[in-house]
A and B are shown apart, each in its own frame.
Chain A
């Protein structure tokens, strides 16, 4: 049994797996950022409204 493994192919497949994961992870991180900003903006808005309410009752 003396056959070399197709190391170039294995390397290429592994590299593709890494590249695809990086691309996918960048997309997912973008979505996370958008959602995060959305939540923070909503919270900030709520905070501002709460302050306005407080000021309005003074």
Chain B
């Protein structure tokens, strides 16, 4: 794995900076979450072993030394069987309600982890257009990053175009892809599209995106370096979630923060395990890769297969016409990636009655089977999200410890991560 310079790993070198206090909620310990998961497991374990108060009844009756006829008579007198049946129904109802609620809560986690299971959905559907965001620069194998690369320097598109012009290796298909991507970015209302995966020959693509109001471009690996790198920035239009925007960072209204790969990124990494992944956040660069033989990664692959089969089966069983599928896809473009599959079924329901229930029913089973995996991802995501708030309130040393913890936790999921802070504090512009 090509790691970005190890020298600065875990160590931020921004020096002292003013601290914006955030609520303690943003740096809540994941211990609370672990306790919650234990409670859920306890409930499910008790349900599986049929642990109910009534199970001790036989023992007590045995001590009374009464025969079976007397017991049956007594039961009949008080309507025991009917009441007992009602109680069993209530247990089943409570259990179903609990399972339904837990499934509903973790469903987005399961689908977020396996977006690549729906190539016809996840890769074709553009995300929201970007308004403000941190820009990225082309990162080459030996290039040492500075903050200046990430915030404003020369347009990545211009740099990428230079490389395109100098390259004589591109096939017409490759050119078509590049043109198509550029078109989307530049002429289609500045729409930002994530285009990762493989080209028609199966070669992984390297993503290079410039954000904000400019645009981006996709490049192929051999044009960039010997290694296959997929890269994007954080935040990517997450201002609503953070309560601040990348523009505020640029103008100095907002201190820069650490923002690691998300669950979706980790899932994407597992789906493209031969590729080096990078996330550039306002304070440094995350680099990560997945171990293809790690049990968690293998399980994610299985999940992906399950979901892919589900989508194919549903379409086949309801004889969904390709045009209808495409139409449904275009309706889900503003949906959070983790909710795309459900929204997709919902859209198809308008023309194929019953498809939503059919699809969701099968989806529920898959979610239930992968609950443990989803909970571990929630834990990781919680740790990751807490780094954002921690960036404002912790010292560099404390923050480094938290980053280290996040990295160690990721290792248990089969993800090797490193974080290299920028050497210098971001240069912030005058307020615009």
Tell me the A residues contacting B by CB distance below 8 Å: 1-8, 10-11, 13-18, 20-21, 24-25, 27-29, 31-33, 35-36, 38-40, 42-44, 46-47, 50
Contact = CB atoms under 8 A, between A and B. Distances in A.
B284 to A, nearest CB: 16
B36 interface: yes
B70 interface: yes
A3 B378 contact: no
Contact of A42 (B32, B74, B104): B74
B94 A5 contact: no
9 contacts: A2-B279, A3-B337, A3-B338, A13-B104, A17-B97, A17-B101, A18-B39, A35-B54, A40-B64
B73 interface: yes
Contacts of B212: none
Nearest 3 CB-CB pairings of A with B:
A17-B101, A13-B105, A24-B94
Contacts of B337: 1, 3
Contacts of A29: 52-53
Contacts of B87: 28, 31-32, 35
Contacts of A38: 78, 80
A44 B64 contact: yes
Interface of B: 25, 32-33, 36, 39-40, 43, 52-54, 57, 60-61, 64-66, 70-71, 73-75, 77-78, 80, 83-84, 87, 90-91, 93-95, 97-98, 101-102, 104-106, 108-109, 112, 115, 122, 127, 194, 232-236, 238, 241, 261-265, 268, 279, 336-338, 378, 381-382, 384-385
A52 to B, nearest CB: 14
A21 B264 CA distance: 30
Contacts of A36: 53-54, 57, 60
A4 B104 CA distance: 17
Nearest to B70: A46
A7 to B, nearest CB: 5
A48 B162 CA distance: 100
Nearest to B377: A5
A5 B112 contact: yes
A46 B74 contact: yes
Contacts of A10: 105-106, 108-109, 378
A4 B257 CA distance: 15
A2 B36 contact: no
Given A7-B385, A16-B101, 8 more contacts: A3-B338, A4-B238, A4-B384, A35-B54, A35-B80, A36-B54, A39-B74, A39-B80
Contact of A5 (B74, B80, B262): B262
B382 A7 contact: yes
A17 to B, nearest CB: 4
A3 B238 contact: yes
B263 A4 contact: yes
Contact of B84 (A13, A33, A35): A35
Contact of B90 (A2, A4, A24): A24
